[in-house]
Every structure is written in structure tokens, then in C-alpha cells.
Amino acid sequence: MDVFQAMTVYVRVVEAGSMTAAALQCEMSTTMVGNHLRALEQRLGVRLLNRTTRRQRLTEFGTAYYQRCLEVLGLVADSERLAEQALDEPIGTLRITAPLTFGTEKLAPALSEFALLCPRVKLDIVLSNGRPDLLEEGIDVAFRLGNTEEPHLIARPLVDYTLTMCASPEYLRRRGTPENPLDLQHHDCLSFAYPAGDDWQSVEKQWRLSGPEGEVSVAVSGPMLINSSAGLHQAARTGMGIVLLPDALVEQDLQDGKLLALMPDYLPPCRPMNLLYAQDRYRLPKLRSFVEFALQKWGKH
């Protein structure tokens, strides 16, 4: 029995609340999780969990042993980090999270270049429009949209995340081209459905544009509200209506003429974007190399 693996499985069972949930996290079968627990209990000669078909409960010894496992596994992890730090060459797994559109359109295409620079770094990419907790989810570095309120993390500013108002040539031939913001009230405006609590949720019904006269807010409506930038993009390309889409997503279509930018004197709002990471992790060569790479690519100079 690999005692460290068995201890890791035990910690996962305690924290996940069941062997089934722990099996998913450990990427092994529930039977294998049970085998690790039984082997650990046999080695110790004492029961760790009282298990029934519906629930599990820690024994008194199991509670104390769980705390000691956290300490031991923490020391093991620290020792491995020391080994990583001793290497000049970046090595190991780097876990990165980024917003879905930016990650798909900008980050993923650039990673082949980073892989050539750091061939011994394995990349684990999580694309999500949520705001995952870096420490809880074991994430090394995050691209984060919007204002950051995480003082325990280092935030490095990147170029703003900008939008373009655009529509397909076919839609504009059919419905005409809006010349000023008020014209949008007579057009089909397709909107992105921002999640509850997002500071841009109002964009679904009110488009704010900055023009020669300052900021103007226009009530818009249309035949579709969707929570996917990719879906919104495809609907715009087929002539369904006018959209506000990230430049990262429509840049090539604008160059190819499949979408046309509208009212260039009236700019949609932009969002700040930052690169986040824990200060004590920056000394790891794999993270430091990626941060330098990302700032060179998208840093706010």
C-alpha cells in the first residue's frame, strides 16, 4: 500500500463527504477508494469512519488522524515545491484558468509558443466565466475580468477586454445601417445573458456607448438572449441582428468582411482584465515563466 496515496484518498473522502464524490476527485473507482480506506484502517488497527449505506461519520480517532494527514501531506507538498524551486528549468504542471472567450480565442492559440519555451511544463487549462478560488481549487494563475477584490493575490494589469458593435452585411442590407445610438431602438439587438450578480447584467437591456457627446444609454430589444458568446457570434454571422461582442471573438470576421463594425464614434464599455496569482508561488520557475510570457503578450504597457 502507498501510505501517502491512502492518506490523500482518506482526506478526499472526509472533505467530499462520501466515497463516491471522493472517487470522482481522485479519478478512481469507488471500490478502489474503499480498498484504500480498508488498507489504511488495517495498517492502523483502528476504525476511521463509521459507514452506512446513507452516510458516513468520523470516529474520534478518525477526526484526529484527518488533521495529522493534512499536516503530513502539507509537508510532502512543501518538500516537492522545494525540489521544484531548486531547478532552474521550469517543470511540473501549471494550472491556469481564464474566461471562456479569451481562453479559446487568445490564450489557447498562444500556448504552443509557451510550450516551445518551457517544454517540461504540462498545462492544465480550465476555461470558465466563473470566478474560481485559486487556493481552494489548486489554480496557479488566473486571467480575471472585472474589478478584483482579492488582497491575498497579486494582480498584474493586462490590456482591457474590449467589445465591438457589429452586424453581418446581410442584416444591414435587409434592415439598414444605424447611424446613431437612438437608431438601435428600431433594430434587432441580440444580447448576452450575464449571470446573476455580474456587474454587466444591465447590458442585456441597456447598451451604454461613449461618443462625442459623452455617454449615452439606449434601451435595446431583440429576438434572442443567450449565455454563450460563441452562440451570439454565430447568430450575428447568419444575419439575426446587431451584437456587442468581444474583439477577441470577431477580429477575424471584421477583417474578412463577414461582420461589419457599426458607429465607430460610439464605443461600448470595456472591462479591466488582470493576471492573478499567489505571491508565495511566484518563485516557482514554471509560474514565473508563464507570468512573464503573459505580460509580454497581453500586459498593459
CATH value at residue 74: 1.10.10.10
pLDDT band at 190 (very low <50, low <70, confident <90, very high): very high
241 close to 167: Cβ distance less than 8 angstroms: yes
Which cell is 212 given? 462625442
Least confident range from 99-103, 175-179, 181-185, 198-202: namely 198-202
Same domain, 153 and 284: yes
Q: How far is CA 176 from the centre of its chain?
A: 38
Beta strands in the chain (DSSP E): 49-51, 56-58, 92-98, 121-127, 141-145, 153-161, 163-167, 191-192, 206-211, 214-219, 225-226, 243-246, 260-261, 271-278
Question: From CA 93, how far away is CA 269, in angstroms rounded?
Answer: 36
Instruction: Name the residue with cell 458607429.
Output: 263
Which cell is 252 given? 477575424
Q: Domain of 172: which CATH number?
A: 3.40.190.290
Same domain, 263 and 229: yes
Q: What is the pLDDT of residues 225-240, one digit of tens each?
A: 898 899 999 999 999 9
Which cell is 139 given? 489554480
Radius of gyration of the chain (CA): 25
Same domain, 245 and 178: yes
Task: Say yes or no to pLDDT of 220 above 70.
Answer: yes
Query: Containing domain of residue 52, as a range?
Result: 3-85
Same domain, 35 and 71: yes
Task: Say yes or no to pLDDT of 169 above 90.
Answer: yes
β 141-145/92-98 pair status:
parallel
Same domain, 167 and 261: yes
265 burial (CB, 10 Å; 0-12 / 13-18 / 19+) is exposed
Confidence (pLDDT) at 227: 87
Same domain, 173 and 262: yes
67 close to 36: Cβ distance less than 8 angstroms: no
Same domain, 65 and 10: yes
Q: What is the pLDDT of residues 114-134, one digit of tens each?
A: 999 999 999 999 998 888 888
Pick the more confident residue, 249 or 129.
Answer: 249
Q: Please compute the mean of the pLDDT values over residues 147-151 and round it to a whole number.
A: 78
Q: What is the pLDDT of residues 50-87, one digit of tens each?
A: 877 677 888 989 899 999 999 998 888 888 777 666 66
Same domain, 146 and 293: yes
Least confident range from 10-19, 198-207, 208-217: namely 198-207
Indicate the SS3 state at residue 97.
Answer: strand
Task: Say yes or no to pLDDT of 197 above 70.
Answer: no
Task: Say yes or no to pLDDT of 141 above 80.
Answer: yes
pLDDT band at 250 (very low <50, low <70, confident <90, very high): very high
Same domain, 207 and 283: no
Task: Say yes or no to pLDDT of 201 above 70.
Answer: no
Question: From CA 46, how far away is CA 35, in angstroms rounded?
Answer: 15
Question: From CA 37, how far away is CA 57, in angstroms rounded?
Answer: 14
Q: How far is CA 234 from the centre of its chain?
A: 22
Confidence (pLDDT) at 86: 61
DSSP class of residue 267 equals B
Confidence (pLDDT) at 203: 59
Question: From CA 26, how far away is CA 9, in angstroms rounded?
Answer: 7
Beta strands in 44-102 (DSSP E): 49-51, 56-58, 92-98
Q: How far is CA 32 from the centre of its chain?
A: 31
Q: Domain of 109: which CATH number?
A: 3.40.190.10
Q: Give the chain's count of helices (H) and strands (E).
A: 10, 14
Query: Per residue in 211-222, is it b (16+ CB within 10 Å) or e — as a string?
Result: eeeeeeebebeb
Same domain, 284 and 146: yes
Confidence (pLDDT) at 247: 93
Residue where a domain stops, chosen among 60, 85, 110: 85
Q: Please compute the mean of the pLDDT values over residues 194-220 and round it to a whole number.
A: 78
Same domain, 57 and 14: yes
261 close to 215: Cβ distance less than 8 angstroms: no
pLDDT band at 295 (very low <50, low <70, confident <90, very high): very high
Confidence (pLDDT) at 89: 81
pTM for this one? Answer: 0.66
DSSP class of residue 189 equals B
Contacts of 234 (CB under 8 A, 6+ apart): none
Structurally, the chain folds into a number of domains equal to 3
Same domain, 294 and 154: yes
Q: What percent of the chain has pLDDT over 70?
A: 94
Residue where a domain stops, chosen among 85, 109, 142: 85
